[in-house]
A and B are shown apart, each in its own frame.
Chain A
Amino acid sequence: MKAVLVLENGMCFEGNGFGYQQDTFCEVVFNSAMCGYTELLTDPSYAGQGVVMTYPMIGNYGICYDDAESVHPWLKAFIVHSLTEKASNFRCDVELDAYLQYNKVPGMEGVDTRHLTKVLRESGTMRGKLCYGENVDPEEVRKEILEYQPISCVPLVSSPESKQYGDGPVKIALMDYGVKLNIVRSLVKRGCTVRCFPHTATFEDLMAFRPDGIMLSNGPGDPQDCVQQIQELKKVYAYGIPTFAICLGHQLMALAQGAETYKLTYGHRGINHPVKDLSSGRVYITSQNHGYVVDEKTVDPSVAEISFVSMNDGSVEGLRYKNGKVFSVQFHPEAASGPKDTGFLFDMFLKGIGGSQL
């Protein structure tokens, strides 16, 4: 079926529908990774978004269920230049098109995705609507878009009840704001028992588990919407338990400690983002997916120091807090998809726990 993506600035991109072809609103963002779309589709941080892939041929290796970062896809639309007809990979479980149909994710192909990406880069992330059929009136649709208000997605993607993984000696309480499974896997692999708590969990809920450390997960949307969670994190910080935070977790902890966040024009989404470790001068290539960032100017040096910065735009990529217990990164050391170069941060976290236990 014919498909049209209408943007809030009135621009239209035409293509062909695939996946579950039903009209949908979304916040349109682009991702520059050349592979790893399975991980991306199932990354809860993309909830509410329509993702444009800059790499043109998508679906080459189908969907491998083992690579999923959660139980099903969360994004609202998937926009590519060319959908691969025949996937080829020994692990392929299902073709991308069928997977999206089954999971009710609308898709569109045949788009000049580079053109669309440049529009997003220049005008910033925009709301849009993916529409199917011949009779789309862009002006009408645009009015609808301007009325559309994205909702906070953390409640949507966070698991409603707590779950436990692994049986290692180190107990980690993980706040699930929309956790990617590879954060859990990264901890379990290193000998942890991980208990995931829903986003509504209080500090007391976490502590009832008697954790050795706390992990704050990634998640979707504007961190400032997570008022309740920020309050709980103030208590976590005050208690002084070893805590490691990633992405949304990183932003929430910063907000809890008085810093502010702002929205980037078009975000960082891809697996080639260089960040500099300011303590060593080393640069690492990281996986990133965030539209908001901690404002450097609002980080109180007596509370935290900036540990990593983006080599591309100088924005804050990591914080080390002065209580000596909490550190956080904006990027994704768990990778999936993307480089595993910063996986050592999990080791650092666990080493910190070992130190505090002794």
Chain B
Amino acid sequence: MSRRKEIQKVILIGSGPIVIGQAAEFDYAGTQACRALREEGIEVILINSNPATIMTDGKIADKVYIEPLTAETVKKVILKEKPDSILPTLGGQNALNLAVELEESGFLREHNVEMIGTSADTIRMAEDRELFKEAMDRIHQPCAESEVAETLEDSLRIAERIGYPVVVRPAYTLGGSGGGIAHDEDQLRAIASLGLQRSRVHQVLIEKSIAGWKEIEYEVMRDKNGNCIAVCNMENFDPVGIHTGDSIVVAPCQTLADKETQMLRTAALDIITELKVEGGCNVQFALNPKSFEYCVIEVNPRVSRSSALASKATGYPIAKVASKIALGYTLDEIPNAITQKTFACFEPTLDYCVVKIPKWPFDKFVYAKRRLGTQMKATGEVMGIAPTFEQALMKSVRSLEQNMDSLMDATLKEFSREEIAEKLHEPDDRRLFVIAEALRRGITIEEIHHITAIDLWFLDKVRRIVDMEKEISGEEMNRELLYRAKEMGFLDKTIGQLTGKTLEEIRELQRKWEIAPVYKMVDTCAAEFDAETPYYYSRYGSQNESNPASDRKKIMVIGSGPIRIGQGIEFDFCSVHSVWALRDLGFETIIVNNNPETVSTDFDIADKLYFEPLTEEDVLHIVQLEKPDGAVVQFGGQTAIKLARAIESMGVPLLGTSFDSIDEAEDRERFDQILHQCGIPRAEGRMVYTCAQAIQAANELGYPVLVRPSYVLGGQGMQIAYSDEDVIEHIGIINRVTQEHPILVDKYIMGTEVEVDAVCDGTDTLIPGIMQHIERAGVHSGDSISVYPAIGVSQEMQEKIVDYTRKLAKALHVKGLLNIQFIVKDNTVYVIEANPRSSRTVPYITKVTDIPIVSLAVGTFFGKTLPEMGYSYGLQSQKDLIAIKMPVFSFEKLYGADVNLGPEMKSTGEVLGIAHTYGEALLKSFYGAGFHKIQKGRAMLTVRNSDKAEVLPIAKGLFEQGWTIYATKGTSEFLNEHDIPTVRVNKIDEGKPDILDQITSGKIHLVINTPSGGNARNKDGYLIRRYAVECGIPCLTSLDTAAAFLTCVQNAETTQLSVVDITKVSSFLNII
């Protein structure tokens, strides 16, 4: 064995907050890596600013630093922990950049820390455009004709030479951030200047556009002996031009013959050999669909979103094997975890295909441009596994949870044939559905191919699905037709709709004709070898491989589906922890989920993994086979909760809080009744069904009011309305999706928002801690800075909060977790909402209090009381620490989206700042969230009139700390009157240079802008905010956040940032 014994203590850098382009896949990879290292007896030191991850858990690493991902932090941890090695290739681009920075500065060498796995030289060669091109030239690998530019003038000259259209690719950025396709000089000016700004090294690549070519990816691995394998290849449904993260992707490649396949495979292996990669690597190619001509698009010498997908698609654990390689093992020494008989040095072969579809956030950002291009916009993804593309695609479509179980999008019916044909030219998130609709309107696959350049093979598959819709609705149902429809992935519900039969009638036919799915194993080897992996997917066939026999009681855990705004990685944390807790109690665990990026869908988390869509029917089939003794829905977010009623009706007991109690909390009238019984005040509100009712309710309550649909998570669709016009607009947006439940109109109370997570054992409740939001009520809790403990809430109010929590938990018959949001105003505590399930803050509060509330919740399912589990009731004593959770946004990726904060959640991820003092914790959280300039910068202030008084102390404070204040006329004059000097800036209509020019000039470090009420999208404020985020300038839209920022500024100079090992939290002194 060639394991290097001198490697004993390894630092692993995580990827930080979830942002578009960097999601849960790195938690999956990092968690797998930590486990792979620790099973070798290595001490793992983890640094990651993201508290919602599974990797930042004391169970996963030996020491965990949830600290800002900056070079300073890593240096401090290295000095403190004295590791011998650093593994940089498992935390995405952030980790890679940090490690290279430390290597280049000589710090690593100076402290005898070796970079293991892929070397810094390799990383440079792959990342630096110039070096990369040279390397490719040496091995005769064609790259698209291109040149590196460091200035705008360079860019224009290069484009002139290679000819428009050109692709602009900034070096060292996330998800192709800042890139784009320029068709002429004007476009290039705009895109290239942005790209240069975004790039860490101020380089962009100007490349000949190869739009329309096939985009093919290879996941390859190499060890120190030079053994190379291709784990998986993947083909994009969309041709080059749409970011692979925004494309439907299928694995393996479908339209390539062996000649093309081997040509690209050989190229990929030649490339990693030349780059001397030791570990996993992703290689992207563009292939001319009309010849053997190809070119290398890019190479990522690390695990990536694609490698997570490839791992889940094949069963080959890329991150684990990459970690072993970093320790010196060679591929032929690492056992294949799936077959247990063969080795990691082989190439998986699939006997199914997988289809990945991205999950886009356009339901949250209704005004964002939906057009897809080289800038990734998706927040998450789903995967479907099936023997045919059609079935895999249909599984993925329904996994997206966008109220569509097939390719029939009712909203497209209203468009004419011409309009549909026109839409084909504009690739956006609805493209698949537009294609299906075009086919229904008689547009041929050849015409669609001509417009979209999507391969005819894919289009023909979509045609087959559309034809099946017609066949089902047009023909008498018979066994053969029903079988084919099921095999193609149609749900009973859809077949019922198309035939006019009831769901029960369709199911009865299947019973009569003995049509039922079977489950097959994902085994890396197409059944060539006997495998043990409990990783299953459904299909139709003659043999079922999933044996339901078990000597233990079985519990099914419903996962949380794709990562989206409002339902992120936190719920995967909860799902995984519940699985572990159930296993510790001796149960057999079954997890059902469809997200390839997550830890929960790693095949060795639960006893059995069903990689399936989370719909009633898909779950029903699993229930019919497995007959579980219980099901858990309270950890999988809204996705799981939505299935609660159905699962109960299947005869499977819901563990913990019953469906009726969940409904009690969601149903406005029932919940009001409970609050009334408990004597707990809440904001006055009404339930309405129509716009007219909403307006009437709003006027009765008095503006401003909150308008939102019921039964949603993350405040989806929630808005503050200040006028009848606002109400009309918001109701319109909510009603774009048919509402099964009433719409809620509540009086808006502006106070301090407070949140608790609690566990109730049926008798009484434990509250690990109270979290207070920095932003006043009205900003969604997920977008607020959250402080634990609630230092700004009086003792009396805290007691009231605890009292209400205990009362509510009891009244709602909660067994397990409960999350409640409160508003404190004028010495009154109001309840906003209560959710008897896990929440976004569970991982955060679990880690900072060291109270494992998920395990405790699982214990309560089986009648254990909290005291029996060693915990007391009531609010737990506070630790001598302050932990601040700060939201992180991805606005720069979503062109057109307004960045102002409101009741609808917009953040994609979060970071944690943890320290003994408030000032230090706050500073850490701002650093972690990417605020680089804290001291003596230039701030642009433009606030609405009503905020002027409030902004004054902030402006004054910033000025006193050496900041220069820029402001437009109104704000400027107001500040000057109060003796705060400003640099006066022209408003947009006041002539050039105006405020937008100032922002793009690169001089400004911070923008504070408060929106002037309502959804004022076309006003100056909107443009100011958009310009700011697109130039990468932090933009604060809440004065509460601005005040917190000022606190940071005031503390920055005098505060020494410590690094805190979160696994030692329990040893912190209790302060009460």
Contact = CB atoms under 8 A, between A and B. Distances in A.
Nearest to A63: B257
Nearest to A122: B530
B457 A87 contact: yes
B257 A112 contact: no
Given A39-B258, A89-B255, A311 B345 contact: yes
B352 A56 contact: yes
A281 interface: yes
A114 B343 contact: no
A70 interface: no
Contacts of B342: 274, 311-312
Interface in B335-383: 341-343, 345-353
Nearest to B227: A283
Interface in A27-50: 30, 32-36, 38-39
B226 A282 contact: yes
A254 interface: no
Contact of A311 (B262, B332, B528, B543): B332
A339 B387 contact: no
B331 to A, nearest CB: 6
B257 A33 contact: no
Contacts of A34: 252, 349-350
A75 B455 CA distance: 31
B343 A274 contact: yes
Query: B interface, how many residues as a size bin?
Result: 35 or more
Interface stretch (B194-202, B519-527, B775-783, B998-1006): B519-527
B456 A35 contact: no
Nearest to B289: A90
Contacts of A341: 228, 266, 269
B529 A312 contact: yes
Residue among B226, B255, B529 having the largest count of chain A Cβ atoms under 10 Å: B255
Contacts of A84: 457
Contacts of B258: 33, 35-36, 38-39, 67, 271, 336-338
B131 interface: no
A323 B291 CA distance: 46
Interface string A108-131: 000011110110010000000000
A283 B331 contact: yes
Interface in B485-541: 518, 520, 525-530, 541
Given A117-B351, A121-B528, A311 B257 contact: no
A20 interface: no
B150 interface: no
Contacts of A82: 387-388
A158 interface: no
A117 B255 contact: no
B667 interface: no
Contacts of A36: 257-258, 261
B542 interface: yes
Residue among B330, B387, B520 having the largest count of chain A Cβ atoms under 10 Å: B387
A86 B541 CA distance: 23
Interface in A222-281: 266, 270-274, 276, 281
A285 B542 contact: no
Contact of A54 (B255, B353, B460, B528): B528
B90 interface: no
Interface in B283-304: 289-291
A88 B456 contact: yes
Nearest to B390: A82
Contact of B527 (A117, A271, A276): A117
Query: A interface, how many residues as a size bin?
Result: 35 or more
A60 interface: yes
Contacts of B456: 86, 88
Contacts of A89: 255-257
B810 to A, nearest CB: 52
B528 A60 contact: no
B138 interface: no
Residue among B230, B269, B330, B345 having the largest count of chain A Cβ atoms under 10 Å: B345
A167 interface: no
Nearest to A36: B258
Interface in A265-319: 266, 270-274, 276, 281-283, 285, 311-312
A282 B225 contact: yes
Interface string B24-62: 000000000000000000000000000000000000000
A54 B261 contact: no
B257 A38 contact: yes
Nearest to A337: B258
A55 interface: yes
B256 A35 contact: yes
B255 A272 contact: no
A283 B289 CA distance: 33
B527 A121 contact: yes
A339 B464 CA distance: 33
A205 interface: no
Contacts of A312: 341-342, 346, 529
Given A61-B255, A117-B526, A336-B258, A55 B349 contact: yes
Nearest to A119: B543
Contact of B349 (A54, A66, A121): A54
Interface in A159-200: none
Contacts of B543: 112, 114-115, 118
Given A86-B460, A282-B227, A55 B526 contact: yes
A94 to B, nearest CB: 13
A285 B332 CA distance: 12
B862 to A, nearest CB: 38
B1032 to A, nearest CB: 42
Interface string A124-142: 0000000000000000000
Given A35-B258, A274-B346, A312-B346, A339 B353 contact: no
A38 to B, nearest CB: 7
A35 B230 CA distance: 14
Contact of B348 (A117, A272, A276): A272
Given A274-B332, A311-B332, A54 B345 contact: no
A285 B346 contact: yes
A274 B525 CA distance: 12
B455 A88 contact: yes
Contacts of B1012: none
Given A64-B257, A67-B257, A339-B265, A56 B388 contact: yes
B253 interface: yes
B389 interface: yes
B943 interface: no
Interface in B434-457: 455-457
B343 A311 contact: yes
A335 interface: yes
Contacts of A86: 456-457, 460
B351 A114 contact: yes
A88 B226 contact: no
A312 B345 CA distance: 10
A271 B252 CA distance: 14
B229 interface: yes
A55 B257 contact: no
A13 interface: yes
Contacts of B464: 85
Given A54-B527, A337-B258, A338-B258, A112 B541 contact: yes
Contacts of A81: 387-388
B113 to A, nearest CB: 30
B387 A57 contact: yes
A326 to B, nearest CB: 27
Given A121-B527, A312-B342, A67 B259 contact: yes
Given A54-B526, A340-B266, 8 more contacts: A34-B349, A56-B353, A118-B543, A272-B346, A282-B227, A312-B342, A336-B258, A341-B269
22 contacts: A33-B349, A34-B349, A35-B258, A36-B258, A39-B258, A54-B349, A55-B350, A56-B387, A57-B387, A64-B259, A88-B460, A114-B541, A117-B528, A118-B527, A121-B528, A272-B347, A272-B348, A274-B332, A274-B346, A282-B227, A283-B345, A339-B266
